[in-house]
Amino acid sequence: MADQCFGQFKLDSNSVLLRDGDAIHVPPKELQLLEILLRHRGRVVSLESIEKEIWPRQQVSYASIARCVYELRKILGDQDRTIVVSVPKKGYRFGLPSSKRTAEVAGSTALKVAQASTRAYSDFIEGGRQANSGTFWGLQRAVELFEKACEADPEFVVAHAAIADCVLFQSMRGYVHPAEALGIGLARTAQALELDAGLAPAHAVRGWFYCVADDLAKGFASFETALSLDPEYARGVMYYSFAQRLAGMRAESLETAYRAVELDPHAFLHRRGLAWRMFCCDMPEEALEIERGMVRDYPEDAEAHGALGIYAAFLGIHDEALKATERAIQLADNLPGVMTLHTYALARAGRHDQARALADSLQNEELPRAPRSHLAMTYVPLGDHDRALELLREARDEKCPWFRNARFDPRLEALGTDSRLLALFEGLP
């Protein structure tokens, strides 16, 4: 096969993948998949064809193909699925054109990425790789790289949307104060949409920020716009599921989460989101099983272990819960938001003195900080409902992304009839 160029990448005639001239290691199956997609550039390659070429003498499940796709996307920094494009129930196609001159044949998001300057594109791809880590330093570095991409190419609309998306997750994890994140998120998505009103990712993340700002009407309108522009945008579908849950649409939220996973089965966010929807829909055992699978698939991911610990603790499987949350703390380098998960597991296990001491130590306002909604959950099994409610009030006042969801969190069942809890959510749309 002749040299194939796309963005900052080149797959040469010797099947060596180069990024800005430097060779990148690509495992054999992922390399085969890339070659197949490039050979059929612009056309859908069926699941059956992929299976036949990569596993010629084996019968494999769709999960094996999806895992191969997932790994290739990681190598390419394809967090928005604009390079390896999923075609539901059919297969995959290569999304980027071979050159900027043929970019008009690509989808809208892929087009914007392909048309960016080489420097901006390089920073964008590396920013995506950093963002996918989900860590404090990874997200911080991602924002810096996306900012550089915007400086190198001020009309690189996708980079503006990516900054907003990163800041959203920084806020959720306590890395950025919620009020600051809200301002940045709305400003960046406004910039993106001024440059391109048809960019689905910008509408989707803007919808989430509107929901955080208690403007559900604008939030839902943004999601509907995003999904009308790109009905197969799995990340937007999962964000829409979040919003439905915040609005009290329990059954609809769960159904939408299933849809997101169907569109992109191995995306970390989508599987995590589905587990949380299940937990809030009285399906903790099912949520636990998903997180056990997440830990098997991502053994070095702190969030996977932390979420496993929450569900196990809630179900009274204390040894598993404590082991999981202890591992989460190790992997997250003692970040306060992750440590709140351990305090909850300790409290549920009856180790109240340890739990209270740790929870009290996490009250500081320095960044990174413990999200107030997370911290509130610790004090419920400790029987300190006053402190739990105080923290929830702080979460409400500072527009914590998790606040609205707290009213559906099974961990607050003991407060269900407390008039003070009902008053916190009174008047919310």
pTM of the model: 0.75
Domain boundary pick from 231, 259, 276: 231
What is the DSSP secondary structure assignment for residue 44, as one 8-state letter? Answer: P
Query: Does 404 share its domain with 423?
Result: yes
Distance CA 121, CA 238 (A): 26
Domain of 26 in residue numbering reads as: 1-95
Per-residue pLDDT of the chain (429 residues; tens, 9 = 90+): 667 887 778 888 888 998 878 888 899 999 999 999 988 876 788 888 898 899 988 877 777 788 888 889 888 887 667 788 877 667 888 876 443 323 332 344 544 554 555 677 778 888 888 887 778 888 999 999 999 989 988 888 888 999 999 999 999 889 999 999 999 999 999 999 998 898 889 999 999 999 988 899 999 999 999 999 888 888 899 999 989 988 889 889 999 999 998 888 777 888 999 999 999 999 999 999 999 999 998 898 899 999 999 999 999 999 999 999 999 999 998 899 999 999 999 999 999 999 999 999 999 888 899 999 999 999 999 999 999 999 999 999 998 988 888 888 999 988 877 889 889 988 776
CA-CA distance, 409 to 403, in Å (whole number)? 10
* CA distances in angstroms from 118 to 8, 9, 125, listed in the order given: 6, 10, 11
Give one word for 49, left, alpha or beta, with left for phi > 0 and alpha for psi -120 to 50: alpha
Same domain? 90 vs 110? no
Domain C-terminal end among 231, 249, 282 = 231
Q: Within a domain: residue 194?
A: yes
Amino acid at 379: Y
Residues 12 and 110 in one domain: no
Instruction: Count the domains in the chain.
Output: 3
Assign residue 71 the CATH number of its domain: 1.10.10.10
Same domain? For 132 and 152 the reply is yes
Last residue of a domain, one of 231, 259, 294: 231
